[in-house]
Amino acid sequence: MPSWVSPPPQDLGTKRGGKLTADQWRTLATIFLVLTLVNLWGNGSPELKDRLDNFISLVIVTKYATKRRISTQDIAIVEENLVKYLEGLKTIYPRHNFTINHHMSLHLPQFLRRLGPTHSWWTFPFERFNGVIQQINNNSRLGELEATFMRTFCRIANLKAL
């Protein structure tokens, strides 16, 4: 691998490994899993090849959607492969429950047309903030969660001010 590509964590998949950042997921999916799955599934059964093709459609969407410059043709490639990926999910994994994120992904080409490359509007900083929120202990009682977040953030802000 090139020196500028960070390898996935050694303890990936274990509790000790923790959660991957959005950028780590992108690198894992678009580089390391491509190499691994092509080796594992490339010469396999038709079902495995279908799974590989489906995954590659998602990788194509990711690679094109995260380019720093994007053309109308690039957006068409994103749209085509996004639909292919979602239809593949439905066919290959018929019991798969689609989520709101699957629906929202269908709006990605529209966002690319209106807002341009994702680098100018993606939400990695907010994703990082979501990671901080996930680490806050809470009692899971409705109505108290917000107060728990508020107290925790105030506590953190006060500590940083020292």
The string of pLDDT tens digits covering residues 2-54 is 788 878 888 888 888 788 877 788 889 999 999 999 999 999 999 999 999 99
41 contact partners, CB below 8 Å, separation of at least 6: 48, 49, 51, 52
Q: Is the pLDDT of residue 153 over 70?
A: yes
Mean pLDDT of all residues in 95-114: 93
- Cα dist. 91→46, 59, 69, 139, 160 in Å? 13, 18, 33, 40, 51
Interatomic CA distance for residues 91 and 50, integer angstroms: 10
Interatomic CA distance for residues 139 and 132, integer angstroms: 16
